[in-house]
Amino acid sequence: MSLQQDTRKEPSFYEVKKHKGIFAWLLSTDHKRIGLMYLYLIMSFFVIGAVLGLLMKLELIAPNKTIMEAQTYNGFFTLHGIIMIFLIVIPGLPAVFGNFFLPILIGAKDVAFPRLNLLSWYIYVLGAIIAISSQFAGGGPPDTGWTFYAPYSFKTSTNMLPAVLGAFTLGFSSILTGLNFIVTIHRMRAPGMTWMKMPLFPWTLYGTAWIQLLATPVVGITLLMTVGERLFNIGFFDPALGGDPILYQHLFWIYSHPAVYIMILPAMGAISEILPTFSQKTIYGYKAIVISTIAIAFVGYFVWGHHMFTSGMSGIALYVFSILTFLVAIPSGVKIFNWISTIYKGSINLRTPFYWAISFIFVFMIGGLTGLVLGALATNVHVHDTHFVVAHFHYIVFGGVGFAFFAAIHYWFPKMYGRMYDETWANMGWLIFFIGFNTLYLPMFVLGMAGMPRRYFDYLPEFHGGNIISSLGAVVMIMGLIIIIFNLFRSAKIGPIANKDPWHGKTLEWTIDSPPSLENFEEDIEITEGPYEYE
Amino acid sequence: MSQDAHTDEHRDDIGSRFGMWLFIFTELLLFAGLFITYSVFRYKNWQAFHLAAEELDVFIGALNTVILLISSATIAMSITALQQKRKILSLSLMGFTLLVGVIFLVNKYFEWSLKFEHGLYPGSETLVDLGKGEVLFFGLYFFMTGLHALHIIAGLVFIGIVFHRVFKDRITHDNFVHLENAGLYWHLVDVIWIFLFPLFYLIT
């Protein structure tokens, strides 16, 4: 393995410091440093969120009270949801890998508005502090769940205000990141990189950025209205004053369903980068993936009602939302078809990112197909608000986004740190995590169909067996997670030096030094062919 | 090479304006949530909305509309003035915009205080006695005009910063995209009011 340092002309971005000590990070407008700052925060929050999840699973290992009171459990699932959704999976891939790799993948030196980018990070930190502060003051931790459903969210005596305001602030950060990415993609692609020569990860970031921009304000205003309810007793969502709680659900899901696509689109993009590299084969149906990305982003706006099939809507509205939900599954299916066809007859290189990527397809398909069970009206009524739903969205949000996140971090790690991780440990971590994940969530489908409702700290004795398996799965999964994170952490410090292009990739990031220099590219580049020309 | 050098040497006026337009989209969608809420509640309580709207002072509302329209014109003129290198004229037009923006807020203050004196504010007993439609009307009235007033303040701050930068010659006749963006934002604030005014004051 050739030592990267031998060939480099410019120092890596780690070595260029404009400010001293920690301020080299906190005041830097370099997209790579900002991406890493997001990574460290998101991983820290992820550990907290995962521990909360584990504690909930331990509570559910036996009926009746096991390790916590009912109210503590309510607080835990609320905080778990707020942390996982607003602090981790929504910013997730765009904030970390989007910031670090979007400019590199399109041949740019930075994003369009570097200072705005740093501001988004600070707003994210501010939002996180506000949201977490809800735990420590006022009437105790919020207990509404992350959806803040009216009218309970303004009737409960718990400390809702900071949680709602924190989510609002985080939305602001999300909007500014999306705005930045759209302008970057429009204005800063390298000469010769036409839209149809752009790699797929930037394409999915583009779709995501539009959703961030156009959907987030709706939840922003909804959360502000909830603040108004709590502070001034305005009555928008309070039936006693003439308001309508169902209206809250509509406004909330107009954002929060597209938010699922904010999460999953960049995950799909990362997978579309990884599979061609490890199959050494051109991606199958590049245009189909691009079109399906845009289609998901577009149709995803019009399916929010499927969260509310039992809330009270007209019959026609139910049918329309159900049909649209089935429609949005088509572009996702197109992508699966493309990925499988990409691997087919490729010269497959079985490395850690590839394991993560194919297991992504596996869990994403389970999540997607069970989504259709929920999108159909009759079955939805049967499993609504049961553990079936919990299992479904964990397969999508944790299985989809989480697996893609780990795939991406193992894929780009050598580029980000210039070092390679220990692959034996990484593969072992993946295997344990994969087994634990499925042991944790598969039984929940069965429990849900048998009628076990979500959001209770207790259950009937007949559900005991499934819950034991599920809780043991949680323990196994956390063990895998510890191995993965420890391995990455250790390898960033003392792993063997990686060369420029350890996976023989074709996209632009593999043509530059590892870690990249401050301006990414030392000379001007010109793009002449598509991103995945392996043949 | 220092980090600022590589951010400052890159200047993209079209990109900058594009970013501002995207931000304006988000602002419109922010208010869109409230417009939907308004239409839902108006549909359900049209009689109460009719009666409640008569409580509002059309004169002050119309005055504020005229004020904002004029200020939109003056901020647009200040851009043209700067392009023609007439810095003093540009600054005074911006100053005028700031002044009438403040007058708008003063009018709003008096209008709101009058409503408070009559007990027409969210949570008051007078309002609850009037009925649910009135509660919703005045809830929406205070929430939407309040949020709009916050945007007026944000716009004034934005123009104030630009004013300072023009004064210090950091925004000049060949580098005026920030002034343009401030103008765009001010027009947005104006346009939202153009919709708020008929919805609350004129449709009775």
> Domain of B174: which CATH number?
1.20.120.80
Shortest alpha-carbon distance between residue A495 and chain B (Å): 28
Instruction: Give domain status of residue A519, yes or no.
Output: no
Check CB contact under 8 Å for B22 and A222.
no
- Walk along chain A (535 residues) in steps of 10 and give the mean pLDDT of each run: 62 90 93 97 96 96 94 96 96 96 96 96 97 89 93 90 95 96 96 95 97 94 94 91 93 94 96 96 95 94 94 93 95 96 95 97 96 95 95 96 97 96 97 98 97 95 96 97 96 93 94 92 89 88
Q: Is the pLDDT of residue B1 over 90?
A: no
Residues of B in contact with A174 (CB under 8 A): none
Residues B25, A112: C-beta atoms closer than 8 Å? no
How much is the pLDDT for B98? 97
Above 60 in pLDDT, residue B146? yes
Bridge partners of A497, per DSSP, are: A419
Residue of B68, B94, B88 whose CA lies nearest to B182: B94
Residues of chain A with Cβ-Cβ distance to B22 below 8 Å are 179, 182-183, 213
Would the pLDDT of B6 be above 60?
no
Provide the domain count of chain B.
1
Q: How many Å lie between the alpha carbon of A183 and the closest alpha carbon of chain B?
A: 6
CB contact under 8 A, A218 and B133: no
Which of A6-15, B1-10, B44-53 is least confident? B1-10
Separation between Cα atoms, residue A369 and residue A157, nearest integer Å: 39
Residue A89: both structure tokens together: 């999976």
Q: From the CA of A384, how many Å to the nearest CA of chain B?
A: 27
Q: At A239, which CATH number? A: 1.20.210.10
Does B37 contact A225 at a Cβ distance shorter than 8 Å?
Answer: yes
Mind spelling out the 3-state secondary structure of B68-81?
A: HHHHHHHHHHHHHH
* Residue A286, domain member (yes or no): yes
The pLDDT, as a whole number, for residue B5 is 40
Handedness of CA A438, A441, A444, A445 (dihedral sign): negative
Cβ of A225 within 8 Å of Cβ of B133? The answer is no
Beta bridge partners of B175: B172
Nearest residue in A to B132, CA atom: A242
**Does the pLDDT of residue B39 top 60, yes or no?**
yes
Residue ranges of chain B whose CB lies within 8 Å of a chain A CB: 1-4, 6-7, 10, 12, 14-15, 18-19, 22-23, 25-27, 29-34, 36-37, 40-41, 44-45, 122-123, 128, 131-133, 135-136, 139-140, 142-143, 147
* Cross-chain residue pair A241–B132, CB shorter than 8 Å: yes
Number of domains in chain A: 1
Enter the tokens of residue A264: 């999953």
Instruction: Tell me the chain B residues in contact with residue A109 when contact means C-beta distances shorter than 8 Å.
Output: 6, 10
Return d(Cα B127, Cα A244) in angstroms, integer: 18
A62-71: burial string, b at 16+ Cβ within 10 Å, e else = beeeeebeee
Chain B residue numbers with beta carbons less than 8 Å from the beta carbon of A115 are 7
> How far does B168 lie from chain A, in Å, by closest CA?
21
User: Chain B residue with minimal CA distance to A221?
Assistant: B30
pTM: 0.94
Per-residue pLDDT for B103 more than 90? yes
A-B interface: how many C-beta pairs under 8 angstroms? Answer: 122
Q: How far is A134 from chain B (nearest CA, A)?
A: 24
Range of the domain at A57: 4-511
Contacts of residue B26 in chain A, CB cutoff 8 Å?
175, 179, 213-214, 216-217
pLDDT recorded at residue A4: 53
Q: What is the DSSP string of chain B?
A: --HHHHHHS---HHHHHHHHHHHHHHHHHHHHHHHHHHHHHHHH-HHHHHHHHTTS-HHHHHHHHHHHHHHHHHHHHHHHHHHTT-HHHHHHHHHHHHHHHHHHHHHHHHHHHHHHHTT-STT-HHHHHH-HHHHHHHHHHHHHHHHHHHHHHHHHHHHHHHHHHHHTTSSBTTB-HHHHHHHHHHHHHHHHHHHHHIIIII--
Q: Which chain A residue shows the shortest CA-CA distance from B39?
A: A247
Beta-carbon contacts of residue A30 (< 8 Å; ≥ 6 apart)? A13, A110, A114, A518, B3
The closest alpha carbon to A151, from A244, A254, A252, belongs to: A244
For residue A526, tell me if it sits in a domain: no
Q: Do B139 and A236 touch (CB under 8 A)?
A: yes
Residues of B in contact with A9 (CB under 8 A): none
Alpha-carbon distances, residue A300 vs A259, A270, A304, A332, A393 (angstroms): 9, 20, 8, 11, 16
Average pLDDT over residues B68-74: 97
Residue carrying structure tokens 């502070």: A231
Domain assignment present for residue A520? The answer is: no
Which residue segment(s) compose the domain that B74 sits in?
3-202
**Beta carbons within 8 Å of A522's beta carbon, 6+ residues apart:** A9, A10, A512
* pLDDT at site B9: 56
Task: Answer whether A225 sits within 8 Å of B41, measured CB to CB.
Answer: no
pLDDT band at residue B10 using 50, 70 and 90 as cut-offs: low
Residue of B nearest to A109 (CA): B6
Contact B136 A235 (CB under 8 A): yes
Q: Tell me, what's the pLDDT at A5? A: 54
